[in-house]
Structure 1
Amino acid sequence: MKDTQPSPDCKASAEAKAERQEPLRAGAALGMVGNVKPVVLASLGLAAVLGTVGFVFAKVDFNAGASNLSFPLPSSQPLPAHASSKSSPAERLIQTEIDGHTPEGQLILAYQHLARGNETQAFSTAEQLVQRQPDFALAQLLYGDLLLARSGRPEAATQVPQAGAASGAAAVAAASSIEGLRAEAKLRLAALVERPPHNALPRQLLNLTPGVRHAVVVDTSHARLYLFENGADGLKLLRDSYVSIGKLGTGKLQEGDQRTPLGIYHVGVRRDEAAARYGAAALPLNYPSEYDRVLGRGGSSIWLHGERAGNYARGPQSTDGCIVLSNDEMRSLADIVAARETPVVIVEKIEWVDRKLALKAPADNGFEQAYQAWQQARLSQDAVSLRGFYEPGLERGSDSTAARLDANLARMAKQELPVQRLERLSSLPWPDAPGVKIVTYRELSPGGGAPKLKRQYWREKDGHWTIFFDGLVS
């Protein structure tokens, strides 16, 4: 796994940083109190935020005292375990119990109060949040909107101060910053309403063994990271977090394209020495993987990391390719996951599968037969059979490179490389290529000593499975 000093990424906007303090200064100057008229709230863009839950536009009628969102979600949409399938997104937003101890939870509480028509409570919650977390730009925007509404000058929310010849660029930057924050609000609210189905798992995690303690899945279209814990009863969702991804979206192909890769990766050794640049903690990912290299994809230094000082979070698409969490969320994640073993599945959208149905789903018999045959050949040091599993001509330190494979097979023919046990930890299909599988396993030798953590990349062609990489995880 590549683990080098990264180049700078995910640059913060100086303009946005300066703007974060404006609402607090405005509040002191205005000193306004009282409730806000519904039409004023709508003009501030709050209607657009609250009305886009579930990524479907709907009219918000504040005169009714709550969001009037009557559209149904598709039947395939995830539902909260406690919510009725007949409830509307607005009802779920209003009824869902929120943990107000986290900054995100407190923000959602404020939006919840607005959806219920309780502006006074929303204002109080937003005010407490910006005092607690002054670097939370979205909270500052919400608080500033409510201050402007109370002042009777809601139109000021869309006005940009003139700054001479540079005013045009400043206006564009300010508008872009506000749009990014509104998009962040929509995604955070949608994550509250569109919860994963009860007792469901992402399809890519169905074959994890108990040896893998945790797994991470990133749903890039919903700007959400899901952390799963593996226990005696199988995988369970531990928590989920808002994340930011590449400025130009997903599908990374080359260095500097500002895209986040899609695929299956594993976390490297935690890096804390670059805190000024990468926040509270950072976990390198092994991008490009061996399959990425086969496809000709390049680039480097794709990490899961926190936010730099002075910024709680950023817009949904605002990094140079990394996946960025708030510092508190990143710290909690880094404290839990095991280096080199924890898979990180990055997809456009998670395909949730009922775990009961998944247990009845047919296994990939072709691959399982091939893997079991390879395992038996390796345990018995059957050099002749093993050669047929490995593709020729591959490089990059794999045990399957020509010179190393020949040397190892020669020793196995003499029974000089015994293995006591092979413990498979996971077998994960590449998200958009089920004919490619990534196997992580431990190799234990009869003489004792530390087990060797190794990883294989298999692919299928014309019904025949072969290995194109098999090597130690560094």
Structure 2
Amino acid sequence: MYVVGSPRAILIGTLGLAALLLWWAFRPAEVVDVADQYPTEQTEIQGQLQIAESERVPTITTKSVESFDSAEQRHQLVPADLRDLHTASDISSYEQELLMVIDLLKQGDLESALAQVDTHLASFPKSCVGHLLRADIFASLSQGALASQVLPAASGEFDLDGLRKQLRNRWLHTQSDSASTVHSLVPSVLIDFGRSEHVLVADMTAGRLFVYRKRGQAKLVSDYYLSVGSEGFGKRLEGDNKTPVGVYVVNRFIHPDTLPDLYGSGAFPVDYPNKLDRAKQRTGYGIWLHGTPSNTYARSPWASEGCFVVSNEDFEHIQQFVNVDQQTPVVLAEQVEWITPDELIEARAEYLALIEDWRQSWEALDTQRYLDFYAQEQFNFGRGGYDRWAKQKVNVNRGKTFVQVQLDLRGVFRYPGEKDMFVAHFTQRYLSNNYSGETNKQQYWQRDNNGRWRIVFEG
């Protein structure tokens, strides 16, 4: 038994805090900008490796862990079927152990909390959050206060605020409302998987990455703690340290043996900037889903320079759901909008009917009806050119005696961050009396001021 204020307790607390400070002082050096060791952006076009926007391991600030409800209260609030599913498939042992420490701290059982955090650190020695909690416990045992009230005020490299936010994000995800939402509702962006087996959906505000599987309706497979850009999300400029918002696809896998340690177990680059990003003059490149450096388990919620990051353990688990050949879709949303499965069915029927009506008008050689699907003022994302394009379409159709158009959908998604927009990815097979061809297309639809859906970009 430790007596608060006793010499023995003070000594133990002092040693614990000293150990934490020494650990941070002599931890492995941060990874510096390595972009100049790799080909420039131009060589990406030539098929060579292009490094992601350079990132560094974040520094940490000092604050106490905020209060949390007990596990018993959470257990009572979550329905049994959701609770069991959530525990079995969504919360890693890493998160479970951390949340057990929080529950014990909430109950005031410091010795049990210390034993639990030691168990956690034995399993995950690189857990920065675990080391922070251990320092808090020692400080509380020795002086009756959390480490955040004992350690010097946040300055320089000793900035533990990110770790506190990481712990809070993990805890919030286990609460009854969040757990019920994740398992009873679906993201509104998931209109149709097309031929994709899985889709990755990031809720960057919540700091979670969800994996959904096509099984009739979208089926949640698993979800993971996620870290994004140090300046948040909504990327606009190269070097702004923000993660983009939008719909992307994975276009390759980069093996960890070819990467600096910063990227952990490997990387899945996505196709930022996409057509919409380029139209809006958003710059930057090298946005990857990747792992963490070997000297840490997980990073703070906002820690990268634009990439979206999971732990190495989670990255290795996610690999089975990503198919580079199929170009697995990735939706990066500021905040996921959750809707009922019935609402998703209605939206899917509406959007697919629009695409089918457009296709039929083309096959029918009904040129005026076909052209009416396209926005005039917002044509080509508002960059103009409608009149010239429409005139060309009229001339082409005059030479047709028949047209056949087949569409192989690769995915249809509501577009996050844009008002009333969805994007359809498909392979188009075209046959006419004087031409045939196959091409991959992206078609962006947006509702106009009159409430009518029109195509604002196709290419």
The TM-score with structure 2 as length reference comes to: 0.71
Is residue 299 of structure 1 aligned with residue 284 of structure 2?
yes
Tell me how far apart the structure 2 counterparts of residues 469 and 401 of structure 1 sit (CA, whole Å).
14
1:181 aligned partner? 163
Report 1:18-167 matches (<5 A): 45-46=64-65, 48=66, 50-51=67-68, 80-82=78-80, 102-152=93-143, 154=145, 158-159=149-150
Equivalent AA in structure 1 for residue 441 of structure 2: K
Cα drift, residue 438 of structure 1: 0.6
Residue of structure 1 in register with 2:408 after alignment: 423
State whether structure 2 residue 240 is matched by structure 1 residue 195: no
Letter in 2 for 1:271: I
Tell me whether 1:333 sits opposite 2:318 in the alignment: yes
Q: Would the alpha carbon gap of residues 445 and 120 (structure 1) be closer, same or farther in structure 2, given more than 3 Å must change?
A: farther
Structure 2 counterparts to residues 271-282 of structure 1, below 5 A = 271-272=254-255, 273-274=258-259, 276-282=261-267
Q: What 5-or-longer segments of structure 1 have no aligned partner?
A: 20-42, 54-65, 71-78, 85-91, 162-167
Query: Are positions 1:356 and 2:347 aligned together?
Result: no
CA contact (8 A) 2:53 2:286 kept: no
Matches within 5 A, 1:219-368: 219-232=203-216, 234-272=217-255, 273-274=258-259, 276-339=261-324, 341-359=327-345, 361=346, 365=350, 368=352
Kept in 2: contact 1:290–1:457 (CA 8 A): no
CA shift at 1:248, angstroms?
A: 1.6
Alpha-carbon distance change, 283 to 379 in structure 1, aligned in 2, over 3 angstroms: farther
Contact 1:253/1:298, CA 8 A, preserved across alignment:
yes
Alpha carbons of 1:414 and 1:276: their partners in 2 closer, same or farther (altered >3 Å)?
A: farther
Residue 444 (structure 2) pairs with residue 457 (structure 1): yes
Distance, in Å, in 2 between the alignment partners of 1:44 and 1:276 is 29
Alignment partner, residue 37 of structure 2: none
CA distance in 2, matches of 1:295, 1:463: 23
CA contact (8 A) 2:415 2:422 kept: yes
5+ long unaligned stretches in structure 2? 1-43, 432-436
In the alignment, the residues of structure 1 paired with residue 289 and residue 387 of structure 2 have an alpha-carbon distance, to the nearest angstrom, of 31
Which residue number in structure 2 is paired with residue 208 of structure 1? 192
Q: For 1:45, give the aligned amino acid.
A: S
Measured in 1, the distance between the counterparts of 2:55 and 2:88 equals 33
Structure 1 residues 313, 408: closer, same or farther in 2, change over 3 A?
A: farther
Q: How far, CA to CA, are the matches of 1:437 and 1:99 in structure 2?
A: 29
Post-superposition offset of 1:373 = 3.0
| 8 A contact 1:382–1:413 mirrored in 2 | no
SS in 2 for 1:195: helix
Aligned to 2:357: 373
For the structure 1 residues 336 and 126, does the alpha-carbon distance in structure 2 shift closer, same or farther, using more than 3 Å as the test? same
| 1:194-237, Cα deviation, whole Å (9 max, x unpaired) | 224242101111x21463311222112211111111114x2111
Backbone CA RMSD of aligned residues: 4.3
Residues 377 and 386, structure 1, Cα contact 8 Å, conserved in 2: yes
Q: Is the 8 A contact 1:258 1:320 kept in 2?
A: yes
TM-superposition CA deviations, 1:231-289 (whole Å, max 9, x none): 14x21111111111121222221111112222222222122232523221212222222
Contact 1:202/1:352 (<8 A) preserved: yes
Letter in 1 for 2:222: R
Decide which moves more: 271-280 or 96-105. 96-105
User: How much has 1:158 moved relative to structure 2?
Assistant: 4.5
**Is this contact kept in 1: 2:229–2:242, CA < 8 A?**
yes
CA distance in 1, matches of 2:254, 2:289: 10
How many percent of aligned residue pairs carry the same amino acid? 25
State how far apart, in whole Å, the 1-side matches of 2:454 and 2:245 are.
23
What residue in structure 1 maps to residue 9 of structure 2? none
SS in 2 for 1:222: coil
Amino acid at match of 2:276: Y
Taking the aligned partners of 1:153 and 1:354, their CA distance within structure 2 comes to: 48
User: In structure 2, do the counterparts of structure 1 residues 386 and 101 end up closer, same or farther at CA, with 3 Å as the change threshold?
Assistant: closer
Per the alignment, do residues 152 and 442 of structure 1 end up closer, same or farther by CA in structure 2, a change over 3 Å counting?
A: same
Q: Which amino acid aligns with 1:314?
A: R
SS in 2 for 1:330: helix
Distance 1:156 1:384 in 2: 71
Aligned-partner Cα distance in 1 for 2:187–2:161: 31
Give the letter aligned to residue 217 of structure 1. V
* Residue 6 in structure 1 maps to residue 4 in structure 2: no
- Provide closer, same or farther for how the CA distance between residues 220 and 80 of structure 1 changes in structure 2, counting only shifts above 3 A: farther
Q: Is the 8 A contact 2:136 2:147 kept in 1?
A: no
Contact 1:226 1:240 in 2 (8 A): yes
Contact 2:90–2:223, Cα closer than 8 Å, also in 1: no
Change (3 A) 1:277 1:270: same
Corresponding position: 1:470 with 2:458: yes
Q: Helix, strand or coil for the counterpart of 2:205?
A: helix
In structure 2, relative to structure 1, the CA distance for the partners of 1:235 and 1:80 (3 Å cut) is farther
Q: CA deviation at 1:441?
A: 1.5
Q: Aligned partners of 2:215 and 2:71: how far apart in 1?
A: 40
Report the count of equivalent residues.
395
User: 1:274 and 1:426, CA in 2 relative to 1: closer, same or farther beyond 3 A?
Assistant: same
Matched position secondary structure for 1:332: helix
SS in 2 for 1:307: coil
SS at match of 1:433: coil
Q: Which amino acid aligns with 1:256?
A: G
